[in-house]
Structure 1
Amino acid sequence: MSAGAFHGRAESMYFAQPYNLSATGFYFADLEEYQTKAATAVDDFGQPVEEFELQYIDGDHAELFRALRVSQASLADWFELVDALGSEEDRYLIACHLADLGYAIGDLADGWDDYAIYRGTAADYAAEMVADCYELPDNIIAYIDYERLGRDMILGGDITELKYDVILIGG
């Protein structure tokens, strides 16, 4: 899972592609602009256009938009979620993971506080956990295979490797 170059509250650009082949789509950046343009969209015969496929064109939330399969029905919820995410990259990474697991757009904000992001390898996390939880003598610590312990934590579902050096804890 990659978040790309996350910059937070940067402006995103979307495109509403009409299903009606005789109509022209439009770009929009927020819900109000979408609603205004959708309300005035007509096809070549002057008939109102009612259905659009929404496409994410540019911005920092493409992965989450794709995972949530945002549509006309969920567009208002999408913009509320983007506001709630703010500029926190950790929340964005957690939201992407939860969306990939099938969480609905309205349930993401309730779920992301149950998780934390650890920046480092699984072996680093395992070493930190052992150091925090146990007071072991140095001669025993030398025998602990943190690489294997970290791998076992991933395989056991205790942690999730989201991308290189980014570990998801919790759930």
Structure 2
Amino acid sequence: MPQLHAQPYDIAANGFYFESREDYADKAGSNRNDYGDPVEEYEIQFIDGDNIDCDLAKAWGINQANTGQYFEACESWDDHDKTVFIIAVGEAGYSFDPDSVSPSDFDVDIYYVDGMKELAEQFVDEGLFCEIPDHLANYIDMDAIAYDLAMDYTETEVAGERLIYRTT
């Protein structure tokens, strides 16, 4: 489970670390500044956890109002679902409702390859460009196909892994 930090905007108050919605509610409810007043506003910061959860926090735009939904997503989504969300929201600019978001809401095709040329080779091998006779295979210009693919596909890195995606 990721660890977050609630940093108060009140300079007379101390922040706290938390690892769940309940943990946040308990600590925020009892947090007081140096004058005994309750602390109401916090900046939420990702502190520790898996790289994929860090990237998810950035795409999610974690704040006081949505940390509970963020923790739920961290627990219930697998890495592929998280990657879809990170790409859709963090890269492609999709919007989302934190109360009802699901990775299936986003139409994202993800290819776990290192570059456009490798994607071009994969598409040729899978027969996307029809059956290519063996005697013509050496004449296929993979660089040209990769260049064309770059018009519709985008390279990115999520949690340290290079991949290519396309949104529709």
What range describes the TM-score normalised by the shorter chain of this pair?
0.7 to 0.9
| Structure 1 position 43 matched with structure 2 position 40 | no
Residue in 1 that maps onto 2:104: 110
1:94–1:168 contact (8 Å) kept in structure 2? no
Distance 1:97 1:108, change over 3 A: farther
Per-residue deviation, residues 117-165 of structure 1 (Å, max 9, x unmatched): 33343222212222323112122221111122122201x21x2212375
Q: Deviations over 1:60-101 (max 9, x none)?
A: 222221232211111122112212323x2x333322211222
1:73-112 to structure 2, matched below 5 A, reads 73-86=65-78, 88=79, 90-100=80-90, 101-102=92-93, 103-104=95-96, 106=98, 107=101, 109-112=103-106
- The structure in which a higher percent of residues are helix is 1
State how 1:42-61 maps to structure 2 within 5 Å: 42-60=32-50, 61=53
User: Could you tell me whether the CA contact under 8 Å between 1:117 and 1:166 is conserved in 2?
Assistant: yes
1:145 paired with 2:122, answer: no
- 1:119 match: 113
**Cα contact 1:64–1:99 (8 A) shared by 2:** no
Where in structure 2 are there 5+ consecutive unaligned residues? Answer: none
**Aligned equivalents of 1:149 and 1:55: distance in 2?**
42
Identity over the aligned pairs, expressed in percent? 29
Distance 1:65 1:34, change over 3 A: same
Q: Say yes or no: does 1:166 pair with 2:160.
A: no
Q: Is the 8 A contact 2:6 2:17 kept in 1?
A: yes
TM-score, structure 1 length as denominator? Answer: 0.79
Q: Distance in 2 between matches of 1:149 and 1:115?
A: 18
